[in-house]
Structure 1
């Protein structure tokens, strides 16, 4: 049972698909083992950040930060990506021919198993790192071949491709992984050509395949190779981690696969040049990820001259918890546009939320623009920050009070060379919020220093939005949009300069576009006036420019309007979590389950993204946690746990197979709740009680429950769900330790994760039932060489049972007639 530990030296966790992983398993102390903690202690506690701890042999200093002699220098540093997996090796059982999935070798005992691999032409050997190395000398074709005792039909061949051969001046360098027929030249598998860098999925007859699937080899995407046969189809698959597989080719199963026994061959060929090698590992391994995160530190310690590094790592939540607090929902939407198929990025963003008395306004886009300075024109007038802003955002605004159209203050600034360079290749999307009753003024303008290109957004004498532009330095051409905005109310304006200008007011387009020539070289921004005149009178907020490779107005205009006015109140909880993840820079949230209630607004800023997600998690009675196989989040709905059945159990285990010293049946008041007061933002405060429980045990009130529901009835449903589940909790197993490595259901146990159910059978006679079903809330584990102790933190699966009409189990009056929530 090899543990597999890999480090992503130099990789960035926010771009996990670009990480090249390095196997460092050979340096792991597998006697002490790798410890992993995940999930929560019980169903009423929040899931905690996952952690991993391991000890690395640092005898040669390779894990010493700042050591220039380290092969990993300079990337031995905090926040280095790390992942831990278990590679479960198959065992052979039954009589030959055996399913090919039973062919396994981890190449870590220092000698070739000649019974398993009787043909070794070329002197292949096992390295100290535990790889199979096949030398490739010029003019010598090699074979490393198994006995012919295997069957691919209904089975698979898997291997990790650790090191591909270098060209080294050769004219022909190739290495392959084949399942071979009894007919020479008829075979199926993968072939790598070092000269072209092509990895080919092939089904050869007479040593040829006229229609292979050719892939440009990637050490990231093609680290693992597999050939699999199922239901009359052969699949060629690749994987970056040995767990998540991508089908690269499929083909109707050749007849010989069903009629013959097969051998596995890893042949090589090299013509000319100098010698090299290819390395393989973990043939037949079933990989199960246990941890994905980043290293907290690389502390180096010594015992005498022996050096070691005790590494601790934390999952994605560490990275999330470091992020700055969120801005308002509007601010986050401006900073994180997301239009599929379009490249977009911030040009500048001036929220105008500075405190009263500020002399300038800052850009928060991170694009490197300068600030906007308060600029005086003639005498008089005022410009102040800190005014009341949009009600739904909690943000303030800037108030412009000129003495006249030509006397007062406005904001001016140089947006910088980067902004200017992007103006032209990308269309500028300009937006802001405006509140005024004064007509005939300019709101803002962008221009090229030479004035060849200018665009000005203003208010006509009739109070409508106007768009003015020129691309020749001449007179501005005025386009009246006929949209009234000078009515004393806040309005959202968005203008997309994608050649034929599209404008949106309050999230809607009037269906009229104004032709504006392509703008390029824009660099200077004036807000609250334009070039010393037409000074604006009113309030402005959230001035932003976003660059895009195509028109994005129809997507983002309604989103930005909703963000400020409703805070997306009423959207489903899973959609809200995905939205918050996008604000954090995460592109992937796995959603489990189907019952997701609408949630209330979270439009104001000031909280962390994790805190906001936890609010949604609590509102949903769901589960939020980091994935253990990649850089992403999982969000589970409460209905994922409804009515667990034996058919859906992750595994079943007899009590006698547990580590019995730690098994306890709990029956206490830790979870008891029989009275609860619940409320929602802007809604009623309501109390739910369980009188029979109060009579029997007294009042157990966990404190006020405030959740983001959108109706009082939903709040009441959530309160009833909590009280009815825990008014009289039954006895339960809360800790279930298993020495999993020795179990025949090892893979099933490894597949169990948060919210999985399993059943412990053949309980001792003192137990309340012969079988007890548990729900996994979390676990701690220690993975050692030929040992894997997992201690599951569990709750009673029965607490998640809900009423099913006329069901023998789930419609027992007074026992299992709890209505689903």
Structure 2
């Protein structure tokens, strides 16, 4: 049997660390069915944003946005996270004792199964598709199975859907135990409603002095599991029911291997207010199908009957991933949450510079004229990775222009608790000039960063009210050498980092700062040169957190691996990436950026002949597959043609994918052309341009050869595999649900008109419809052997002129 689980995180966002997920499955109209699309049509197409459509019963108005009587008010909003999963259960077969994973119950028929739970007690019930276990004052209750199960090599899984409240009791708990034949000897999970602690226990005499305790999280500990494997018992938790975290492990107790066991889901309290716990999906194996955000909550009526058919999209449409990025050095600084940040990259006609930190009340940097003469030209110079920056050119040390801003009360308030960390890029050939200064509103407190007059080393001068100005000079090289340098000054630790090298000297830490000066102070010691990317951090951030910005500004991270670059780009959108496969080449710099995070990530995926798509579950939201994941594919599952039970199976042979001439280039490299003359002679030229972020010309040639070798003359292939998955045996159904982009499917027993009786196909994407006692999957596929590579002396992958393609 199967079961669909639809959960919405009302009131949360994609960046919420522990969203509260609400199960709305009972309101899903499975007669109309859930529709999901995922992946691409073929291997040469970019993976498009996935979508999910879910029809809902809205007869009580709970899904009407803005309706005050909705139990979800005011959080029926667009942009809330949603996930869809399918549960499968292992049917009970054979004779007792049965493996515990065969104890499966979805509690959806509103009656307690006398077969599964014959010894239940204390007024337990099924309510709303869940097992409800009351905690009556001074008593206990529980679901209890017969003693006909074994844990050896098996597992007990359940979703803890609702935990009880303390309710004024001196003791209140709910639990899930595997009981031995000896009273009080048992394994289980126990939640203490008074302390909010979830504990993994192996009890003897109702006690475990080594229990592992966790502060309960309704998100991280939503799913609980006890599993035995190879002589070890594992206690595991999960937020999805699909991926698990081990919280405790111990040697399998002797009674587990020698006895039949019983399961008891129980609750009790000593007094106070009667409450209950709720459990669901006992024995389920969960299969994530979709994770994304709700785009709309439309409400429709047919007469007085109301429905809501919601449309959801995956993370490839999330605002942060499609917003335009600034330069890489700006994005890296923003990741570290500066309190004030002036990139100083304004255009040449600017007369002031703006803050990008988002801190309220920070004013813009405006030009201050000292004496007469001198210039301050925006965009006249080059800062890190060639970013435009202003050039300060005074006529004398006291005549020229500099910048000043009021940083506002929020900056001053933060400075009461945290000392300043300052960062900037600069270049000059003149010593004894001021890079930056900070003062209090009355200027009685000062902090001035400059280059020492004698050595050109970094100097900081500080002054407290009523005290003299105190200078501290660090042992840096002469920085007035005309070269571009990166500076991090950590006032709290007395550290200075120049171009990634750290120097330490104790110094005074002023507070109450508010007014910022850049390129001069009090109309004197005017800067002669360039300054850019001025950032101030008034929070707990270390020097080591900020020094990597030097590498960003100096190299744009040219030469880092494609997997590292993908993770970097994803971080700019507030996301993380899981990699699959192992071949990730070095890539060129993307220092300028300027387009959306998604576009830049797709550039990397295209450069690597890899795949970028979203996860089907919470956790790591993006997946980046390397090309070698597909080398010499092995089928993850095999289907008989006769078992598909659908129409629409497709064999295709055309020139849709043909590429026999590739012109390829890279930034700062050669433009090269790779062709298959035999294909051109036979079919005419089928050209394609490749602009790749490779780090060498040879890598570009390899990529072009790889494309031409595979697609100069594409043979017939299976492009569509529709299947009625629900009718399959459980093991096959689970394998189909696990299939995703790049999964290989084997086919046997093909019709006599086919090229051969067997075929292998690689999944590129799919559409599915989850209905009432139906689950139709329609896989978009490509020819799996397209990605075979040469293995020396291998009987399959070393056939001359057939499977001797060199791996790229």
TM-score by length of 2: 0.96
Preserved CA contact (<8 Å) 2:103 2:283: yes
Q: Which residue of 2 aligns with 1:415?
A: 407
Matched, 1:513 2:510: no
Preserved CA contact (<8 Å) 1:498 1:551: no
- Give the Cα separation in 1 of the matches to 2:191 and 2:424: 55
Q: Which residue of 1 aligns with 2:458?
A: 466
Matched, 1:627 2:615: yes
Q: Which residue of 2 aligns with 1:717?
A: 702
Relative to structure 1, is the Cα distance of residues 148 and 387 closer, same or farther in structure 2, using a 3 angstrom cutoff?
Answer: same
- Give the Cα separation in 2 of the matches to 1:281 and 1:658: 32
Relative to structure 1, is the Cα distance of residues 659 and 668 closer, same or farther in structure 2, using a 3 angstrom cutoff?
Answer: farther
Deviation of 1:424 after TM superposition, in Å, equals 5.5
SS of 2:477's partner is strand
- Give the Cα separation in 2 of the matches to 1:513 and 1:297: 55
Q: Which residue of 2 aligns with 1:528?
A: 519
- Give the Cα separation in 1 of the matches to 2:543 and 2:460: 21
- Give the Cα separation in 2 of the matches to 1:100 and 1:452: 74
Matched, 1:813 2:800: yes
Q: Which residue of 2 aligns with 1:790?
A: 777
Q: Which residue of 2 aligns with 1:738?
A: 723
Q: Which residue of 1 aligns with 2:752?
A: 765
Preserved CA contact (<8 Å) 1:428 1:496: yes
Deviation of 1:425 after TM superposition, in Å, equals 3.5
What is the aligned counterpart of 2:668 among 666, 670, 682?
682
SS of 1:48's partner is coil
Q: Which residue of 1 aligns with 2:24?
A: 24
Deviation of 1:560 after TM superposition, in Å, equals 2.2
Matched, 1:582 2:571: yes
Q: Which residue of 1 aligns with 2:105?
A: 105
SS of 1:725's partner is helix
Deviation of 1:600 after TM superposition, in Å, equals 0.6
Relative to structure 1, is the Cα distance of residues 388 and 403 closer, same or farther in structure 2, using a 3 angstrom cutoff?
Answer: closer
Deviation of 1:64 after TM superposition, in Å, equals 0.6
Relative to structure 1, is the Cα distance of residues 193 and 811 closer, same or farther in structure 2, using a 3 angstrom cutoff?
Answer: same
- Give the Cα separation in 1 of the matches to 2:130 and 2:708: 57
Deviates further, 626-635 or 53-62: 626-635
- Give the Cα separation in 2 of the matches to 1:205 and 1:460: 73
What is the 5 A alignment of 1:530-569?
Answer: 530-547=521-538, 549=540, 551-553=542-544, 556-557=546-547, 559-569=548-558
Q: Which residue of 1 aligns with 2:160?
A: 161
- Give the Cα separation in 1 of the matches to 2:75 and 2:776: 32
Structure 2, unmatched stretches of 5+, are none
Relative to structure 1, is the Cα distance of residues 682 and 531 closer, same or farther in structure 2, using a 3 angstrom cutoff?
Answer: same
Deviation of 1:815 after TM superposition, in Å, equals 0.3
Matched, 1:303 2:288: no
Deviation of 1:228 after TM superposition, in Å, equals 0.9
What is the 5 A alignment of 1:135-284?
Answer: 135-284=134-283
Q: Which residue of 2 aligns with 1:353?
A: 345
- Give the Cα separation in 1 of the matches to 2:497 and 2:442: 26
Q: Which residue of 2 aligns with 1:664?
A: 650
SS of 1:365's partner is coil
Preserved CA contact (<8 Å) 2:378 2:389: yes
Preserved CA contact (<8 Å) 2:232 2:251: yes
Deviation of 1:418 after TM superposition, in Å, equals 2.2
Deviates further, 96-105 or 442-451: 442-451
Deviation of 1:471 after TM superposition, in Å, equals 4.3
Q: Which residue of 2 aligns with 1:340?
A: none
- Give the Cα separation in 2 of the matches to 1:29 and 1:288: 20
Q: Which residue of 2 aligns with 1:342?
A: none
Relative to structure 1, is the Cα distance of residues 439 and 267 closer, same or farther in structure 2, using a 3 angstrom cutoff?
Answer: closer
What is the 5 A alignment of 1:22-171?
Answer: 22-127=22-127, 129-171=128-170
What is the 5 A alignment of 1:400-411?
Answer: 400-411=392-403
Instruction: Count how many residue pairs are aligned between Structure 1 and Structure 2.
Output: 801
Preserved CA contact (<8 Å) 2:8 2:81: yes
Deviation of 1:482 after TM superposition, in Å, equals 4.9
Q: Which residue of 2 aligns with 1:6?
A: 7
Deviation of 1:374 after TM superposition, in Å, equals 1.3
- Give the Cα separation in 2 of the matches to 1:53 and 1:790: 15
- Give the Cα separation in 1 of the matches to 2:255 and 2:36: 45
Preserved CA contact (<8 Å) 1:464 1:481: no
Matched, 1:571 2:560: yes
Deviation of 1:230 after TM superposition, in Å, equals 0.8
What is the aligned counterpart of 1:371 among 359, 364, 384?
364
What is the aligned counterpart of 2:639 among 650, 653, 670?
653
- Give the Cα separation in 2 of the matches to 1:459 and 1:40: 57
- Give the Cα separation in 2 of the matches to 1:154 and 1:812: 43
Matched, 1:605 2:588: no
- Give the Cα separation in 2 of the matches to 1:413 and 1:67: 46
Deviation of 1:137 after TM superposition, in Å, equals 2.0
Deviates further, 472-481 or 258-267: 472-481
Question: What is the CA deviation profile of residues 72-127 of structure 1, one whole-angstrom value per residue up to 9, with x for unaligned ones?
Answer: 01100010111100011221111221111001111111211112211221222211
Question: What is the CA deviation profile of residues 485-536 of structure 1, one whole-angstrom value per residue up to 9, with x for unaligned ones?
Answer: 33333222222223323231x3334xx4333122322221100101222122
- Give the Cα separation in 2 of the matches to 1:562 and 1:257: 56
Relative to structure 1, is the Cα distance of residues 475 and 173 closer, same or farther in structure 2, using a 3 angstrom cutoff?
Answer: closer
Deviates further, 318-327 or 95-104: 318-327
Preserved CA contact (<8 Å) 1:132 1:280: yes
- Give the Cα separation in 1 of the matches to 2:735 and 2:378: 61
Relative to structure 1, is the Cα distance of residues 274 and 489 closer, same or farther in structure 2, using a 3 angstrom cutoff?
Answer: closer
Relative to structure 1, is the Cα distance of residues 116 and 468 closer, same or farther in structure 2, using a 3 angstrom cutoff?
Answer: closer
- Give the Cα separation in 2 of the matches to 1:351 and 1:664: 55
SS of 2:764's partner is strand
Question: What is the CA deviation profile of residues 582-621 of structure 1, one whole-angstrom value per residue up to 9, with x for unaligned ones?
Answer: 12222x2101111111111101131111111011011000
- Give the Cα separation in 1 of the matches to 2:144 and 2:245: 26
Matched, 1:494 2:483: no
- Give the Cα separation in 1 of the matches to 2:167 and 2:426: 66
SS of 2:765's partner is strand
Deviation of 1:353 after TM superposition, in Å, equals 1.5
- Give the Cα separation in 1 of the matches to 2:764 and 2:372: 68
Deviation of 1:206 after TM superposition, in Å, equals 2.0
